[in-house]
Structure 1
Amino acid sequence: MNTSLFELFKIGIGPSSSHTVGPMRAALRFVQTLTEADLLQRTSSITVDLYGSLALTGIGHGTDGAILLGLLGEAPDTIDSATIPTLLAAIRTTGTLTLGGTQPIRFVEAEHLHFNRSQMYPTPGATTHPNGVKFSASDSLGTLLSEGIFYSIGGGFILSQAEYEIQQSANAPASTRTVPYPFASAHDLLTTAATNSLTIAELLLANECALLSDSTLNIKRPAFLSVIPDGDLRLRDAPTTSEDKIRSGILALWQVMRESTERGIATEGILPGGLNVRRRAHRLAERLNTIGSTDPLAPIDWVTVFAMAVNEENAAGGRVVTAPTNGAAGVIPAIAHYYLRFTEGSAEEKEAGLIRYFLTAAAIGILYKENASISGAEVGCQGEVGVACSMAAGGLVAALNGTNAQIEHAAEIAMEHNLGMTCDPIGGLVQIPCIERNGMGAVKAINASRMAMHETGDHKLSLDQVIATMYQTGLDMQSRYKETSLAGLALNIIEC
């Protein structure tokens, strides 16, 4: 196991983890390499080349702006989203970019930012990840100082060319991270948990505690929150134990999710991008508040509202938590809201259940990330909303005190019925069908958890088998159905 919960769930900005958060992190990392090599002050120009899905849907996904912000030295988890329009306008108006916040260089997007829409990979003839970006830094004489190739592999994760090649190598070195209960498959996870008489949540909590001091993580975990039944958070004493630090860090992530849900429900208007898609979460929430609890399916309607609210915020470039991606960011918080609002339990029970929910969902997400993919550009939307649905289904079973076997079964059911889902955003925007798809994914997660908890005995398909099937299905899928906006709904919008 190489991935932490706090890497899988990370704070960023919309509209895309792979096309916005990832490229922004890649640009920032390239600037940091220039600084470390004492080349920043010698740099007079930067050229950026985008390839594959980044080039084909980059405009709609905000990749251009994300690159500029990263070159400025901004990070997706710390940038004040309210300042983004001003920062970008200053670069575009003056034709000047302050590299790393200290080195002014001339930067005109038409000259220095290239969308190579007819070339899939940075290295011609190579077959690597379809989200590639190349940075080239030159001095005042035009001499190349440094070049860096990065891949945005989904969920805001990035790898350099060298790191990607090592990862793909048959002789890839084992992780240097050490945890008490490593697992490489769902079978490992269930076996290790059973051997040590642990729930999946307890197992992952122990692993996260071990990772607290891992210097390779560099994760900020705010630690001062607790939850009350309606989902609100309150201040409490700073935790002292490792377990309390992890729990409080999880609740801090939940706070960001909750805030993005609230903003999404409160905000009306048209989403940016040119499709003139109207925000619907506010109107749907008003209707549900009007009818009250007279409709027995109102809780399901609220789940849809919660999920759509988050993804409308994401589509507008707001702050969300990758779960495991921005395009699928609404499913996990929607089911958390459902658990807190529509199930029984005291404040203490709800807080404990919410922690179990996130820990278990993370364990499932780690399996997908490490054994398949969470990139829509690599495997289609089954790797985004499908994975989020699977994570949420298993997590909800854990929150409701289901068994480890029921958790695995729920996660399997949820993915089984998302297999083959394409990623075909209209206009390259994370709006249609992405926003509604989060609502549907959240409802599927509830169905999957209920089916699993009502079942007794074994089931035919394992989660490992479904993860392998999802990945192979994604590899077999034609690239035009994988976040390129070259087929599917994206092609047929005129006929709709």
Structure 2
Amino acid sequence: MSLSILDLFKIGVGPSSSHTVGPMVAANRFLEALLQLGQLENTGQIRIELYGSLAMTGAGHATDTAVMLGLMGEKPDQLDPDQAPALINDVRNTGQLILAGQYPIPFVEDQHLHFLHGHSLAKHPNGMTLRAFDAAGLELFHDNYYSVGGGFVLNEEETEQTTSATDIQIPFPFNNAQDLLDIGDRTGLSIGEIVLENEQHLGRSDQIQPALLNIWQVMDHCINRGCEQTGVLPGGLNVNRRANQLHQELLNRPADQQDHLEVMDWVNLFAIAVNEENAVGGRVVTAPTNGAAGVIPAVLAYYDRFVPGSTESGIVTFLATAAAIGMLYKKNAS
């Protein structure tokens, strides 16, 4: 599989790329399948079955609400996280879900959404089954979906494929760090330039540099919002947000108490701000997972705010280089 930079850096919502973003993507794909089969408007009922890790920790990772939002046609990269609670409350208050944003169907969580604790699908621990029924209760379609990490989703058929039908030949394929170094020695290209050259052949975006700058803008907004917000993080542990107070302390720190390591306090702040936004289901960039979403923005914000002469070109180079490392993890990690 030839990975794109945009596969590694996905705009979505927290708190988990595997448990939140992936299930929402799976629900989107389920809607697409129903539409292609001509059964979307005939669907009178939906059943959601969550297995394995999605069942065991799904409630804490908002898997249930992510699937519901996905079935309403909301997409991870377009969802306004401030509006999501109202959408879910409407479903719970009315007992009705607007399928694909068009077709009202009855939906009561206890009846239509099931956490199957202690049960797993064979192909992956993050498994789920989505079923569509007509008004008489006859099944129209079902499929299994597996959230395999980083927001990537495979359906049952795709787990059986040994090669990717959409694999594209790129000029500089690499499978490990030595490959990258060898390509650089042979061509004179930097790691970032190697990735950007490959990107031109993948067709994910006609204008990859504006796409990467938009990713940075989402990261930057996430940092700023995380520094502004206060309150208690969800999850029942009564953990208070810290970024706002840390931000105020850094802004108000007397000049005579500053030292050359202060910049690290800012980097830590940036990472905490993003992580707290992720925890509350805010808009974040999967980089390369939601669990690690604070690291890349924090280092990039250091470059943008503290390195003299930082440029948009430098931001693009940073993200392309970071993507190369992420691709190695995606290809070689478990």
Q: TM-score, with normalisation over the residues of structure 1?
A: 0.65
Deviation digits for residues 414-460 of structure 1 (CA, Å, limit 9, x no counterpart): xxxxxxxxxxxxxxxxxxxxxxxxxxxxxxxxxxxxxxxxxxxxxxx
| One-letter code aligned to 1:289 | L
- Partner in structure 2 of residue 210 of structure 1: 201
Q: Does 1:155 align with 2:150?
A: yes
Of residues 282, 293, 300 in structure 2, which corresponds to 1:336?
Answer: 300
- Partner in structure 1 of residue 34 of structure 2: 34
Deviation digits for residues 439-490 of structure 1 (CA, Å, limit 9, x no counterpart): xxxxxxxxxxxxxxxxxxxxxxxxxxxxxxxx4xxxxxxxxxxxxxxxxxxx
- Partner in structure 1 of residue 210 of structure 2: 248
- Partner in structure 2 of residue 48 of structure 1: 48
Deviation digits for residues 136-156 of structure 1 (CA, Å, limit 9, x no counterpart): 111122211101111111111
- Partner in structure 1 of residue 228 of structure 2: 266
Which whole-Å CA distance do the structure 2 matches of 1:314 and 1:80 have between them?
13
- Partner in structure 1 of residue 124 of structure 2: 129
- Partner in structure 2 of residue 25 of structure 1: 25
Which whole-Å CA distance do the structure 2 matches of 1:288 and 1:197 have between them?
42
Q: Does 1:300 align with 2:291?
A: no
SS in 1 for 2:200: helix
Q: Does 1:346 align with 2:309?
A: yes
Which whole-Å CA distance do the structure 1 matches of 2:218 and 2:229 have between them?
16
The Cα of 1:305 is off from its aligned counterpart by 0.6
| One-letter code aligned to 1:323 | A
Q: Does 1:57 align with 2:57?
A: yes
Q: Does 1:179 align with 2:170?
A: yes
- Partner in structure 2 of residue 452 of structure 1: none
The Cα of 1:175 is off from its aligned counterpart by 5.4
Q: Is the 8 A contact 2:15 2:62 kept in 1?
A: yes
Superposed, which structure 2 residues align to 1:417-428 within 5 Å? none
Misfit runs of 4+, over 4 Å: none
Q: Does 1:321 align with 2:285?
A: yes
Which whole-Å CA distance do the structure 2 matches of 1:204 and 1:325 have between them?
19
Return the structure number with greater relative CO, CA threshold 8 A, min gap 6. 2
Aligned residues: 332
Q: Does 1:365 align with 2:326?
A: yes
SS in 1 for 2:88: helix
Deviation digits for residues 94-122 of structure 1 (CA, Å, limit 9, x no counterpart): 1111111222211110011010111122x
- Partner in structure 2 of residue 99 of structure 1: 99
The Cα of 1:210 is off from its aligned counterpart by 2.0
SS in 1 for 2:97: strand
SS in 2 for 1:120: coil
The Cα of 1:173 is off from its aligned counterpart by 5.0
Q: Is the 8 A contact 2:168 2:201 kept in 1?
A: no
Give identity over the alignment, percent. 50
Which whole-Å CA distance do the structure 1 matches of 2:46 and 2:211 have between them?
37
Which whole-Å CA distance do the structure 1 matches of 2:190 and 2:294 have between them?
26
Of residues 275, 284, 293 in structure 1, which corresponds to 2:237?
Answer: 275
| One-letter code aligned to 2:249 | R
- Partner in structure 2 of residue 111 of structure 1: 111
Of residues 135, 141, 148 in structure 1, which corresponds to 2:136?
Answer: 141
Which whole-Å CA distance do the structure 1 matches of 2:14 and 2:79 have between them?
12
Q: Does 1:191 align with 2:182?
A: yes
The Cα of 1:90 is off from its aligned counterpart by 0.8
SS in 2 for 1:285: helix
Q: TM-score, with normalisation over the residues of structure 2?
A: 0.95
Which whole-Å CA distance do the structure 2 matches of 1:354 and 1:318 have between them?
23
Question: RMSD of the TM alignment (CA)?
Answer: 1.6
SS in 2 for 1:82: coil
Which whole-Å CA distance do the structure 1 matches of 2:6 and 2:190 have between them?
20
| One-letter code aligned to 2:133 | S
SS in 1 for 2:153: strand
Which whole-Å CA distance do the structure 1 matches of 2:287 and 2:13 have between them?
12
Q: Does 1:4 align with 2:19?
A: no
CA pair 72-300 structure 1, distance change in 2 beyond 3 A: same
Which whole-Å CA distance do the structure 2 matches of 1:279 and 1:342 have between them?
25
CA pair 292-323 structure 1, distance change in 2 beyond 3 A: farther
The Cα of 1:174 is off from its aligned counterpart by 7.2
Q: Any gaps of 5 or more consecutive residues in structure 2?
A: none
CA pair 139-326 structure 1, distance change in 2 beyond 3 A: same
Q: Does 1:201 align with 2:192?
A: yes
Which whole-Å CA distance do the structure 1 matches of 2:59 and 2:254 have between them?
41
Which whole-Å CA distance do the structure 2 matches of 1:41 and 1:201 have between them?
46
- Partner in structure 2 of residue 356 of structure 1: 317
